[in-house]
Amino acid sequence: MADPGLSVPMLIQFLDLFGTAAFAATGAFKAVEHKSDIVGIIILATITGVAGGVLRDVIFGRVPPVAIANPLYVAITIGMAVAIFFLYRSFKHYEGLILKFDAVGLGVFTIIGASFAYSVFGLNFLAMAFAGIVTAVGGGILRDVFVNEVPIVFVKELYASASFAGVVAFFGMLAAGVDVNVAAIPCIALATGLRMLAMKYNWNLPRPRV
């Protein structure tokens, strides 16, 4: 249980760093599976962990991006990459746990991205949806492309859709007058929960018959 003295913004910042570590871990795992060396593992972990937020910041004119202005983000991705380089044999048995961390990161980054758009454009649904989804899925798309795989967001269980649902709920709560910090936590939980349920029950969007 969180300390009652911990403010919501501080909690979100902590989860942001946690999500960065989780996404970095998925990038590092992917790099190891593709026989990369330590430099390749660090590069892919860093891209996966911070690329979504960097892309969002550049598109919306925040220069320098948060992940560059605050070296803690890159330090976390490098630390995660090095840890997995040395401990891969131990960690690979917990791949399901890593995917759960990835789901938490998806939810957190969705709402952080949408919150940033809200602070810039106000209650603009398209801007919030774009920023939220780009932040949540950008790093994962680049990770998969860099190892020559079809991005998971295009072929696997609900992913971008879970992010979009979180943005819709967040927008709705803000439109109803709920404070942005209060609205953030349940919407993070919604996006994360949808992603976890989709993984558990193999929920997918309809596909054309070929």
Q: What is the pLDDT of residues 119-175, one digit of tens each?
A: 899 999 999 999 999 999 999 999 999 999 999 888 777 899 999 999 999 999 999
3-class secondary structure, 150? coil
- The pLDDT assigned to 9 comes to 62
Place of tokens 């309809």: 206
Is residue 188 within 8 A of residue 15, CB to CB? The reply is: yes
Kindly tell me if the per-residue pLDDT of 18 is higher than 70: yes
Residue 210 located in a structural domain: no
Which DSSP category does 71 fall into? T
Number of domains making up the chain: 1
Confidence of residue 91 (pLDDT cuts 50, 70, 90): confident
Quickly tell me which residue has 């960097």 as its tokens. 54
Over its C-alpha atoms, the chain yields an Rg (Å, rounded) of 17
Residue 70 has pLDDT above 80, yes or no: yes
pLDDT at site 3: 43
207 within domain boundaries: no
> Peptide bond preceding 64: is omega within 30 degrees of 0, i.e. cis?
yes
Report the candidate in 79, 76, 96 with the shortest Cα–Cα distance to residue 87: 79
Per-residue pLDDT at 101:
76
Share of the chain above pLDDT 90, in %: 62
pLDDT at 153: 87
The whole domain housing 112 covers 4-201
Confidence at residue 81, expressed as pLDDT on a 0 to 100 scale: 96
Terminus-to-terminus CA distance in the chain, angstroms? 49
Task: Please say if the pLDDT value at position 93 is more than 80.
Answer: no
Residue 2: what pLDDT? 42
Inside any domain, residue 32: yes
Q: Would 47 be classed as within a structural domain?
A: yes
Question: Does any domain span residue 154?
Answer: yes
Q: What average pLDDT does the structure give for the chain?
A: 89
- Do residues 111 and 80 touch, judged by C-beta distance below 8 A? no
Q: Answer yes or no: is 145 within a domain.
A: yes
